[in-house]
Structure 1
């Protein structure tokens, strides 16, 4: 058991031309006044977060933070624009340092998510102190030093995720900045519980998102489902069309079209790959290697007592992004060979993700990994294949 209990709320492509998922090569060229280009009616002060969940970085040091308790997304200008200083070495037992910074023991914190600022190399953690449910955002520098990110006087924009007359947001399972919009995935208490939210850029403080109800074919279950939430996702653009590519528990990867949808409408996802039942995706990102585009996801094997795919119940896989254009979908979607490390062609287990509780992209093929180590957590940089 991990002494630092990890919240599984999460909830970071045929050449994505997307500001967030394109990575540091594009972000490095973004000026320090990125906030003025992507945010409007910027507030200064304390955003009043009641909780901190899924996070991601956009260009120019913009940190996107989900607050499930308030059903809001807050974008904070961290003014953290570099220069790039990568983590110098592996930091063992980082959970001990994280807990100590909050004045508690490792068993008294929940780490909801990790986001890496690819411009500075700093690692941000969203954490809850369980003794009093106090949320915090912590920053880890190149030396492995942990400090609190002061929220008392920040520049920010906050937008709401609306529900229906009788609906309520239960959880926000993912956030991302695409080239033209902010995206979020959430779960409500409605029959069509799986929700996708979209807000056009620039973001204006106080506005509300458009909302879509999502339905997905779960290959392993052989049925359409409306309640299972997207666990992790990335924006995806292909042939001029925009999508969300999301992973679900048990474990289909599906794409959802976003163009020409009206707020309140229902959208059906197309399942293109099935990774096998008994798994819960945690994070998702894309990268390029040897001229190929790969979709990478780390997962938690909640059926680990039945079988494991490596040395840890946390494991990961990469999928050739050509599968996103596959014609064989839903019932005929490609299935990972659960008895082999690789197969079919273009779907394979990634050794670097063994034990990976959270991952995020640093640059090119480098990722930062928060890794389980016999109940503690280590922080390190890993090179992808």
Structure 2
């Protein structure tokens, strides 16, 4: 018999053959662990080969929008550079079905991890497979990506040596301020306003340098040369006129009666339906259907699509009008708004305001029953919370 532990009443002994067995188990587990790591690396290498990723360091100038693609690849929109990066995160552990993330003062927590004085959060996206959240941030003016696992552990995603690819958008606005006074604006900051991976393509909204700058792009992945995108013309009911100059602020791709489509929200606040199939055959411009006017003097912030009790809904957070739960029923046959909607009123697709979700500035679907929301309180503090989908 060989003693294990210190002498005394709490010491324990195990037979010699048991100790040998423990050693064999440890060796076996080490072999399994090594095999698992090798398998993960092989999967990562395979994913990189399939999707055209190469090892290196992404030269991010900013990190402004996020979306997940295949095999745990994170797409990062860099509006400053008018470029999009596809980064292999290696995020393979976790289960979205059991994830629950709750962090008070998220910018403060991230500032500690990043050793920064000021952290601003531009976007949050959830890996739908693992339930981990990724935040695109500016830390003392420098871009960074932060990972938050399904129980709230925070780590900085190192970009020193990752597998990635990138594409630069054609005809992006120049990186300079144009206009005077209150109209002075650097339109490059809106070269990318939202992104989503759908039907093996990356969809991108934003502004271009075209005469009609409101643009939606459909990019192939693996990335090739970026096309010029399609100018989008909408009827803005709150303004009572046709417009083609404002960027779509946020959108979701979804199937409508079996056809892929985009539902996009613009400032002040038209909701527009764009069949994805028309993007590739519309030439330089597409005029699409405004299915709702949701109210003026408002900026849409983020949007997700989800199912509940057998029905489909959109959840839209806004700067002034709270969080809206919008029914997706009847979207295919919804008649286009063609008449002005005055006085800040609404028309078209029906919605209700979710009173329990005040101050939501970012949101993403966490799993089939929950959303992950970044909530800004009256004091300005931003908390990350898991909440039930309404």
Over the aligned positions, Cα root-mean-square deviation in angstroms equals 3.0
Cα deviation code 1:121-141 (max 9, x no counterpart): 2211111123xx211011123
Aligned match of 2:252: 234
Q: What is the alpha-carbon distance in structure 2 between the residues aligned to residue 134 and residue 242 of structure 1?
A: 36
1:67-86 superposed matches below 5 A: 67-84=78-95
Aligned match of 1:213: 231
SS of the residue aligned with 2:58? coil
Aligned match of 1:118: 128
**Offset of 1:154 from its aligned partner?**
1.0
Quick check: 1:273–1:333 contact (8 Å CA) kept in 2? no
Aligned match of 2:184: none
Q: What is the alpha-carbon distance in structure 1 between the residues aligned to residue 296 and residue 333 of structure 2?
A: 21
1:1-385 superposed matches below 5 A: 36=47, 39-84=50-95, 88=100, 90-105=102-117, 108-130=118-140, 133-163=141-171, 169-171=188-190, 172-200=192-220, 202-204=221-223, 207-260=225-278, 261-262=280-281, 265-301=284-320, 315-331=322-338, 346-373=350-377, 374-385=379-390
Aligned pairs, number: 334
Quick check: 2:63–2:79 contact (8 Å CA) kept in 1? yes
**Offset of 1:277 from its aligned partner?**
0.5
**Offset of 1:145 from its aligned partner?**
3.2
Q: What is the alpha-carbon distance in structure 2 between the residues aligned to residue 345 and residue 230 of structure 1?
A: 18
SS of the residue aligned with 1:96? helix
CA spacing shift, 1:344–1:249, aligned 2, 3 Å: closer
Q: What is the alpha-carbon distance in structure 2 between the residues aligned to residue 263 and residue 41 of structure 1?
A: 29
CA spacing shift, 1:99–1:37, aligned 2, 3 Å: closer
CA spacing shift, 1:380–1:173, aligned 2, 3 Å: same
Quick check: 1:210–1:264 contact (8 Å CA) kept in 2? no
Q: What is the alpha-carbon distance in structure 1 between the residues aligned to residue 48 and residue 282 of structure 2?
A: 25
Q: What is the alpha-carbon distance in structure 2 between the residues aligned to residue 178 and residue 58 of structure 1?
A: 8
**Offset of 1:61 from its aligned partner?**
1.1
TM-score normalised by structure 2 residue count: 0.77
**Offset of 1:381 from its aligned partner?**
0.4
SS of the residue aligned with 1:259? helix
Alignment gaps of 5+ in structure 2: 1-41, 176-186
More helix per residue: 2
Aligned match of 2:39: none
Q: What is the alpha-carbon distance in structure 1 between the residues aligned to residue 352 and residue 94 of structure 2?
A: 35
Cα deviation code 1:75-96 (max 9, x no counterpart): 1111212222655563211221
Quick check: 1:77–1:155 contact (8 Å CA) kept in 2? yes
SS of the residue aligned with 1:97? helix
Alignment gaps of 5+ in structure 1: 1-30, 302-308, 310-314
Q: What is the alpha-carbon distance in structure 2 between the residues aligned to residue 139 and residue 294 of structure 1?
A: 28
Flag the structure with more relative contact order, 1 or 2, with Cα contacts below 8 A and sequence separation at least 6. 1
Quick check: 1:63–1:77 contact (8 Å CA) kept in 2? yes
SS of the residue aligned with 1:351? coil
CA spacing shift, 1:156–1:282, aligned 2, 3 Å: same
Q: Mean alpha-carbon deviation: is it higher for 74-83 or for 267-276?
A: 74-83
TM-score normalised by structure 1 residue count: 0.78
Q: Mean alpha-carbon deviation: is it higher for 166-175 or for 92-101?
A: 166-175
**Offset of 1:62 from its aligned partner?**
1.4
**Offset of 1:353 from its aligned partner?**
2.6
Cα deviation code 1:341-385 (max 9, x no counterpart): xx9884111234311110011111211111112211111100012
